[in-house]
Structure 1
Amino acid sequence: MGQSVAILGVGPIGMLACQWAGAMGAGKIIAVDIIEDKLKIVKDLGVDVLINAKKEDVVERVIEETKGKGVNLVMEIAGSLATQRDSLLIAAKRGRVIHIGRSYSDVLLPDEVFTRIFRKELEIYGAVNSNSSPLDNEWK
């Protein structure tokens, strides 16, 4: 693969995504979260760049790490409004953005951010997340 990957949100699914990116031969893996302990865990999973979004500007740091190009693949897993916005801002030209996390409020993007979808010719995908609600009679 050799391409750069950014994983926004490194809970259990994000940690698996970090491992997957490494196994698939990603060139550079960037992990973003707001919890330092999660970032420490993924460091041992082969992540190249750790970004604590509470301490650093995510977009600025990713653009710096990629020498102004952005990343080839963004996996938005956190489901926050900030990561959904940032996913579009850090993607490279003709990059791919996969939205796995879900925000439970309206997602409103400023025109400057929304326009990047067209200008960068981004491919945007949605991935179904599982539901952990108990099924009828599951515990009987």
Structure 2
Amino acid sequence: MACVGICGSDVHYVVQGRIGDFIVKDPMIMGHEASGIVAKVGKNVKHLKEGDRVAIEPGVPCRICRFCKEGKYNLCPDIVFCATPPVHGNLSRYYVHAADFCYKLPDHVSLEEGALLEPLSVGVHACRRGGVGLGSTVLITGAGPIGMVTLITAKAMGAAKVLITDIVDHRLGVAKELGADYTYLSTVGEDEQEAVRTVHSLLAEPPDISIDCSGAEANIRLAILATKSGGVAVIVGMGAPEVKIPLVNALAREVDIRGIFRYANEYPIALSMVASGAAKVKQLITHNFSLEDTIEAFEVAKTGVGNPIKVMIHPLKERA
């Protein structure tokens, strides 16, 4: 394994021991945003060889159920997904993975970028579920790594105006560098209707699509309330198992509320975006650590010390 990024879900498992119904009951190796160098292949593998650099899609489905055959393998009930209890992750020096979920990287795509195909695929899935396209007006709530890759994807898909919100000003500065047309520094406990008015004022119209990438109840509510009548609110972030939402408001205005769970068939798209230069994701990496310094890496990701966006661990590199 060459590069393994720390995801918000990794931090949730370490700190809280669960995400919704996914509960850590036994010691578990973390890590699912990964790339590596092939050390050995099975006798029937033809598309990869020793020494190939690959991005690793962390979920391996059964391939035979109805969901798999419909192309929605992210919903496969028997999917084995890295670092999802009780399955171990790939934050290690060596890891065995299904060859058909390993994607060979072009020479000009780095291993760091290969690892970032995982969160980028989430952004691609979110934008596709929301119907982002040429001329779309988009609101993104939450400027963490998933919010950032969703921003990158929305702009690559032709969104005309993208507004992104967060409670951390530094993140909004990075978002501007990544192409955000507007940013909104929100505050905890702010007036909900005032927030809606601010979004509409900045965009000069209600957004066609709102995408929550935080999981915070206030942001989920804002995504629904701010979206235009007949628009779409996409919920990406997983926070509390249950939240209070303005359902009657959504029903009366025919705002579609769409959940997303990981991704399906988006890795090739994400790789094409990075390889073509349409998605410049490497600048999201703010901190790098060796495998020996994993505890320190998780502490940075957890506390936010040093304004991290994406923390990357390099299992093959020795401690500096």
Q: Aligned residues: percent identity? A: 28
In the alignment of these two chains, the number of paired residues is 126
Give the distance between the partners of 1:105 and 1:34, measured in 2 at CA. 22
**Partners of 1:6 and 1:31 within 8 A in 2:** yes
Question: Which residue of structure 2 lines up, in the alignment, with residue 73 of structure 1?
Answer: 209
Letter matched to residue 198 of structure 2: R
Matched, 1:118 2:246: no
**Partners of 1:7 and 1:14 within 8 A in 2:** yes
**Partners of 1:9 and 1:32 within 8 A in 2:** yes
TM-score normalized by structure 1?
0.82
Match of 2:181 among 48, 60, 69: 48
Unaligned runs of 5+ in 2: 1-133, 264-320
Letter matched to residue 22 of structure 1: K
Question: Which residue of structure 2 lines up, in the alignment, with residue 3 of structure 1?
Answer: 136
Deviations 1:35-63 (A, max 9, x none): 11110001011111100112874312112
**Partners of 2:163 and 2:203 within 8 A in 1:** no
What SS does the aligned partner of 1:62 have? Answer: helix
Give the distance between the partners of 1:105 and 1:79, measured in 2 at CA. 10
Letter matched to residue 71 of structure 1: P
Question: Which residue of structure 2 lines up, in the alignment, with residue 100 of structure 1?
Answer: 236
Letter matched to residue 39 of structure 1: L
Q: Which region of structure 1 is more displaced relative to structure 2, 76-85 or 56-65? A: 56-65
The Cα of 1:106 is off from its aligned counterpart by 2.5
Q: Which runs of 4+ in 1 moved over 3 A?
A: none
TM-score normalized by structure 2?
0.37
**Partners of 1:19 and 1:45 within 8 A in 2:** yes
Question: Which residue of structure 2 lines up, in the alignment, with residue 61 of structure 1?
Answer: 198
Q: Which has the higher strand share?
A: 1
Give the distance between the partners of 2:202 and 2:253, measured in 1 at CA. 19
Question: Which residue of structure 1 lines up, in the alignment, with residue 169 of structure 2?
Answer: 36
Letter matched to residue 52 of structure 1: L
The Cα of 1:122 is off from its aligned counterpart by 1.1
The Cα of 1:105 is off from its aligned counterpart by 4.6
Deviations 1:102-122 (A, max 9, x none): 12253123xxx3212112111
Matched, 1:88 2:224: yes
Give the distance between the partners of 2:141 and 2:181, measured in 1 at CA. 14
